[in-house]
């Protein structure tokens, strides 16, 4: 099992947060719960098999686009699998796939749904080589050919993203609306079109990620103290928010590794 990372060249690097190739990924558990990261992802299964995703209506396919998720999903991990994946930055769905992030919110679709026969062509080229660097280059070139260059994103979205991810106590949504000089309905509309969900949901998801980072790095958690530290009303508020995003309680959260704390073994009775 080997993990290779790749940094694409500009201008694609402005749209991509991470590319990786996971050769012969083998899991100790037959199913895996994928927690929401809030970013769009494109993944190819290069093992000669299709993806098997529980309780999702996506047809069986070797290439999927995971839209910006705010809820978990479960995948089959019972067989060794080679994956080639791209994790995109916030707000680039329209630039790469011609759809607003809002349209892909909580959706998992096939690449063929959006790119037609070209999706099969890319997959066949990827399967024709076992060279990891060549595979990265094939996918990089395919993405570059689909990019919409020089599209201007609404100024309020870039400002909001920079502000909402800054520090442990980001600016309030009300203050942010005042700063960008937009009415609340208009601000919500432009943000949702570009990012996939409302600014409020975005901040809730960022806070959930901070919870994961903290609890995956410690053996003892003072839940009441953590709730206050991260701006929840109380411990119950933190637990309820955690359940909404993860589908399990914080006490049931047990990542297989700290480095991949959003992929956890799926236990049906959790």
Cα(46)–Cα(169) distance, rounded to whole angstroms?
42
Range from 56-60, 146-150, 198-202 carrying the lowest mean pLDDT: 56-60
User: Is 182 found in the same domain as 225?
Assistant: yes
- Which comes out higher in pLDDT, residue 166 or 14? 14
Strands of the sheet with 41-45, listed across from one edge: 2-6, 16-25, 81-88, 41-45, 63-66, 108-110
To the nearest whole percent, how much of the chain has pLDDT over 70?
A: 96
**Residue 113: which CATH number?**
2.60.120
**Residue 231: which CATH number?**
1.10.10.60
Does some domain include residue 270?
no
Q: Last residue of some domain: 103, 121, 146? A: 146
Cα(249)–Cα(246) distance, rounded to whole angstroms?
8
Cα(267)–Cα(270) distance, rounded to whole angstroms?
5
User: Is 21 found in the same domain as 136?
Assistant: yes
User: Is 211 found in the same domain as 109?
Assistant: no
What is the predicted pLDDT for the residue at 151? 78
Domain count along the chain: 2
User: Is 115 found in the same domain as 163?
Assistant: no
129 lies in which domain range? 2-146
Predicted structure pTM score:
0.92
What is the predicted pLDDT for the residue at 171? 79
Phi, psi of 191 (to 5 degrees): -70, -45
Q: Last residue of some domain: 126, 146, 166? A: 146
What is the predicted pLDDT for the residue at 270? 46
User: Is 165 found in the same domain as 142?
Assistant: no
Instruction: Give tens-digit pLDDT for 91-146.
Output: 999 999 999 999 999 999 999 999 999 999 999 999 999 999 999 999 999 999 98
User: Is 174 found in the same domain as 84?
Assistant: no
What is the predicted pLDDT for the residue at 260? 85
User: Is 125 found in the same domain as 16?
Assistant: yes
């Amino acid at each position: 099992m080997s993990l290779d990372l790749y940094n694409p060249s500009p201008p694609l690097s402005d749209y991509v947060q991470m590319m990786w190739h996971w050769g012969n990924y083998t899991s100790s558990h037959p199913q895996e719960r994928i927690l929401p990261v809030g970013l769009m992802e494109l993944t190819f299964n290069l093992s000669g098999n299709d993806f098997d995703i529980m309780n999702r209506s996506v047809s069986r396919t070797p290439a999927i686009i995971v839209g910006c998720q705010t809820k978990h999903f479960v995948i089959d991990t019972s067989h060794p699998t080679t994956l080639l994946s791209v994790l995109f930055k916030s707000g680039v769905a329209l630039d790469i796939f011609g759809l607003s992030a809002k349209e892909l919110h909580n959706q998992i679709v096939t690449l063929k749904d959006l790119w037609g026969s070209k999706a099969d062509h890319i997959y066949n080229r990827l399967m024709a080589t076992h060279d990891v660097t060549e595979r990265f280059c094939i996918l990089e070139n395919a993405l570059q050919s689909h990019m919409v260059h020089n599209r201007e994103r609404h100024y309020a979205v870039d400002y909001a993203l920079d502000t909402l991810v800054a520090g442990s106590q980001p600016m309030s949504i009300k203050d942010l609306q005042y700063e960008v000089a937009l009415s609340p309905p208009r601000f919500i509309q432009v943000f949702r079109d570009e990012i996939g969900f409302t600014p409020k949901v975005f901040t809730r998801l960022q806070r959930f990620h901070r919870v994961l980072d903290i609890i995956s790095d410690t053996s003892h958690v003072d839940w009441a103290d953590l709730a206050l530290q991260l701006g929840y009303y109380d411990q119950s508020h933190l637990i309820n928010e955690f359940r909404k995003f993860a589908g399990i309680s914080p006490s049931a959260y047990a990542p297989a590794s700290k480095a991949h704390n959003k992929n956890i073994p799926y236990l049906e009775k959790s």
